[in-house]
Structure 1
Amino acid sequence: MTEVLRRWLAAGGIRTATARDAVLAGVVAAASVALVLGIEQLAVSEAGSAFGAGPGAVVVTAPERAAVVAVLVAQSACLVLRRRDPVTCLALTVLGQVALLAVLPAYLSFQAPATLVAAYSVGAYAPRRRGLVAAAVAAVVQALLLFALGGGGLLGTSGAAYAAQASSALVNALLTYLGAALVGEYVATRRSLLAELRDRVRRAERERAALAAQAVLEERGRMARELHDVAAHHLSGIVVQAAAAERLVDRDPERAKESMRRIRSQGRETLDNLRLVVGLLRGPGDTEAAPQPTLADVPGLLADARAAGADVQDQTRGDPCALAPSTQLTVYRVLQEALSNARRHGTGRRVEVLLDYREPGLVLHVRNAAPAAERGPVPGPASHGIVGMTERATMVGGTLTAGPRPDGAWYVRLAVPRSPRAVHHATGGTVLPAAPEEPGVAPSPTTEERP
């Protein structure tokens, strides 16, 4: 209802709170004048009957009536201050009420509506304790001034009758002002609760939108890592095989055909993996049922690297332990990326792969020699491959270090924790007895990838 009134007033050009209060003051003034004139007519007829006057007897004179109307209009005009300074507004309306009782005939008693609106405004817009105190003080002041003036039906009484009527007037004033102030308090509290609820809803919507955006970014990052790992590994192998086939097509057609078959096989595998990732992007209904790689697929990964022409030596130290599927996928993808980098940047050079289970978890070491021109740290920002490997390691609680060593070799070290809930998989390769790791220079902490 309040919102409808505000829209109507806004349509009429009344948009500010002060302007709305001015309209309210005018409505209250008109209602007050109409009420007091109606009460006057009733009082005149009753007074005429009591004093034996005729029906047309005039008890209230025109100057008295004009004074009452002027006081009511001035009192209602004070309501313009009810939001900006509600306590002052209440004080002015109380003074107007006292003036009204002074100009009214002795047998008339009228509580102007402006005092009720002012008391309500004190409860609604002033601080809680201050508003209630102001309402109580206003009631007491009005009752005391009424006693002093002897108005409101108190004139001509004395003794016990006067005390009873004075007490009744005080109680009525307290009930009137405090009741209106408490109603204002209730409305203000309800308004505050509604505003707080709306604010909570808005905050919850913003938080939900932020969480959704964060989830989208994380999922996009995960998909980007999967696409990079799949494309970088298989396409780099295809490029190497294609270059070898081009060199052998005239000298050794059979070996060239074998390279082409390897290219076709890797191309199919790449398409299968890309279909899996695209299915995840489309939704659960479009996802193809393809298992994620585990440590059991590491021998096949090493075999593919050897078939592509890489000189790979792999070792396993310690007893293979149980690892979570997500951890196994991380180890597989990091090894895949490291082999792809070795194939791109160190073609024809030996790659050493070590899976070490002697640590609290699993430590993967990948090392391959680098050309002399590439020795030392490489300046520039970290590549997407190194960033993706680092993010994968962080997601499973592991750490990754990658960079060149002083002897010119490129080194990748991944350490991941154990998980007792994981399913055990053997990794293949040459299993060596547990022994201290060979001494060497610690890898550089840089995370730059070779160009």
Structure 2
Amino acid sequence: MSPRIHGLAAFRAWLQSRPQAADAVLAVALVLMGFLQLYIEDVPPELKRYYGVSDATHVALIIAITMSITFRQRYPMTVLCFIVVGEIWISVEHYPATIPDVVAFLLATYSVAAHRGLAHSALGGLLALVSFNTMLVMMPIEVGIITFMMDNALVMGVWVLGRNLRLRRAYFAELEDRAARLERARGTDARAARVEERSRIARELHDVVAHHVSVMTVQAGAARRILDRNPGSAREAMTTIEEVGRTALSEMRRIVGVLRTDRDPERAGGELAPQPGLGDLGELLDHVRETGLSVQLWIEGEARTPSPGVDVAAFRLIQEALTNTLKHAGPQARAWVRLYYTDDDLTVEIEDDGRGTATIIAENGDNPGHGLVGMYERVALYGGELRIGPRVGGGFGVRARFPLEA
């Protein structure tokens, strides 16, 4: 690109960023054109007797009218009124019309329509049309009907052009605003989805880690106490710890694998496994019983298959409740798990007769642990109801009702 072309592009960009300066440059160019027109005296000789001779007043009016378009975008109605007064003055003095004042009048009409609302633009258009016809009537020569109609069509066309461009700008501005709103809404939805996903993953990790680590801790303590006097039982406890640890690692690998699915689907795909559900409840209770906690299971009503989400949520709820029992109920505690099936609902109850209530309150105070918060979130997610609190006669109880249909 040559330096000259580059300079013109920079000057054009400068004018686009400063519209008032661009209008000032246009006004100066029109004034110079008006001087050239007055210099060559393009009024036909046979019409000179109808028009006055251009003098300093005429030149001053042309300059004032033309330079006023510098402010046409900021004060369009004021500029139009000023130009109308100047044009009528020229008509009263019978000065010949020049290109600068005619162009300035049309630009002012366009500016009112393009930069003001409907009421102001309509008033400006009416003012321009009335004043223009007044100037035609005041002309010293008779104007033909064709010329009259064409001149009026020109004024109205300029006004309509300005109005259409204003509506077009408003339409594009609305599109841009709508796109910005949609972008913000999409960002908000994405953030909400990320927060929800992080919460879900946190619940999964807590359930997996808390339950299995609790089982491993109880088994390790039992193995330590009986290691010297009963090596065989200690060996069985250590075997249970190994199995539970492998299970915990497998579930944690599955959860973390979900996080890697979008980034590395081939690696993550082989590590995925079905989510646990109520069908795995027997295995869960066996693990808990191996820690020494007595757990009984009752199922009432006709067992029905819940939705996949409810199936996982109910299993995790039982897992978390039994984990809390292992942690807080004490060594002599017993636990009961009851499932009540109806036509529409599944009610899950987990109770123990230990000292869990006092222990939980003493450790957490008024701030519930992550496990209890996770319980509420899981049950609420599927439209269920949850009650947690002390049990009559001692111990702690968890009762949740899930709709069988998602």
With the shorter chain as reference, the TM-score category is: 0.7 to 0.9
Instruction: Give the match for residue 271 of structure 1.
Output: 249
CA distance in 1, matches of 2:306, 2:171: 52
Pick the aligned partner of 2:134 from 144, 148, 167: 144
Is this contact kept in 2: 1:376–1:404, CA < 8 A?
no
Share of identical aligned residues, percent?
Answer: 32
TM-score by length of 2: 0.86
Displacement after TM superposition at 1:377 (Å): 6.3
CA distance in 1, matches of 2:389, 2:83: 83
Pick the aligned partner of 2:110 from 120, 130, 136: 120
CA distance in 2, matches of 1:135, 1:318: 82
Please give the root-mean-square deviation of Cα atoms over the aligned residues, in Å: 3.1
Is this contact kept in 1: 2:339–2:346, CA < 8 A?
yes
CA distance in 1, matches of 2:8, 2:293: 82
Displacement after TM superposition at 1:409 (Å): 1.3
SS of structure 2 residue aligned to 1:356: strand
Displacement after TM superposition at 1:33 (Å): 4.1
SS of structure 1 residue aligned to 2:33: helix
Instruction: Output the amino acid matched with 1:410.
Output: F
Q: Cα distance 1:147–1:347, how it changes in 2: closer, same or farther (>3 A)? A: same
Q: Cα distance 1:166–1:5, how it changes in 2: closer, same or farther (>3 A)? A: farther
Displacement after TM superposition at 1:39 (Å): 6.6
Deviations 1:291-314 (A, max 9, x none): 111211111111111111111122
Q: Cα distance 1:386–1:290, how it changes in 2: closer, same or farther (>3 A)? A: same
Is this contact kept in 1: 2:328–2:359, CA < 8 A?
no
Displacement after TM superposition at 1:27 (Å): 2.1
Query: Where do 5+ consecutive residues of structure 2 fail to align?
Result: 1-6
Q: Cα distance 1:135–1:385, how it changes in 2: closer, same or farther (>3 A)? A: same
SS of structure 2 residue aligned to 1:365: strand
CA distance in 2, matches of 1:60, 1:179: 28
Displacement after TM superposition at 1:11 (Å): 4.8
Displacement after TM superposition at 1:346 (Å): 1.1
Displacement after TM superposition at 1:93 (Å): 0.8
Between the two proteins, the alignment pairs up a number of residues equal to 390
Is this contact kept in 2: 1:121–1:184, CA < 8 A?
yes
Q: Cα distance 1:310–1:92, how it changes in 2: closer, same or farther (>3 A)? A: same
Instruction: Give the match for residue 354 of structure 1.
Output: 338
Deviations 1:326-359 (A, max 9, x none): 1111111111111111011113211111111247
Deviations 1:71-95 (A, max 9, x none): 1110023224423332221121122
SS of structure 1 residue aligned to 2:54: helix
Deviations 1:94-151 (A, max 9, x none): 2222233445656x67562110110110110122243134223322223224424x43
TM-score by length of 1: 0.78
338-347 or 96-105, which moves further after superposition?
A: 96-105
Q: Cα distance 1:359–1:337, how it changes in 2: closer, same or farther (>3 A)? A: farther
Deviations 1:231-285 (A, max 9, x none): 0000000000100111011111111111110111111111110110010011143
Instruction: Give the match for residue 67 of structure 1.
Output: 57
Deviations 1:166-189 (A, max 9, x none): 755653442232221111111111
Pairing 1:402-413 to 2, within 5 Å after superposition: 402-413=388-399
CA distance in 1, matches of 2:72, 2:93: 25
User: More helix by proportion, 1 or 2?
Assistant: 2
Displacement after TM superposition at 1:209 (Å): 0.8
Pick the aligned partner of 1:262 from 235, 240, 245: 240
Instruction: Output the amino acid matched with 1:128.
Output: L
Q: Cα distance 1:95–1:309, how it changes in 2: closer, same or farther (>3 A)? A: same
Is this contact kept in 2: 1:123–1:132, CA < 8 A?
yes
SS of structure 2 residue aligned to 1:130: helix
Is this contact kept in 2: 1:124–1:187, CA < 8 A?
yes
Instruction: Output the amino acid matched with 1:136.
Output: L
Instruction: Output the amino acid matched with 1:326.
Output: G
CA distance in 2, matches of 1:214, 1:241: 40
Is this contact kept in 1: 2:310–2:402, CA < 8 A?
yes
Pick the aligned partner of 1:363 from 347, 352, 355: 347
Displacement after TM superposition at 1:381 (Å): 1.3
Displacement after TM superposition at 1:213 (Å): 0.8
Is this contact kept in 2: 1:375–1:404, CA < 8 A?
no
CA distance in 2, matches of 1:385, 1:32: 82
Pairing 1:399-438 to 2, within 5 Å after superposition: 399-419=385-405
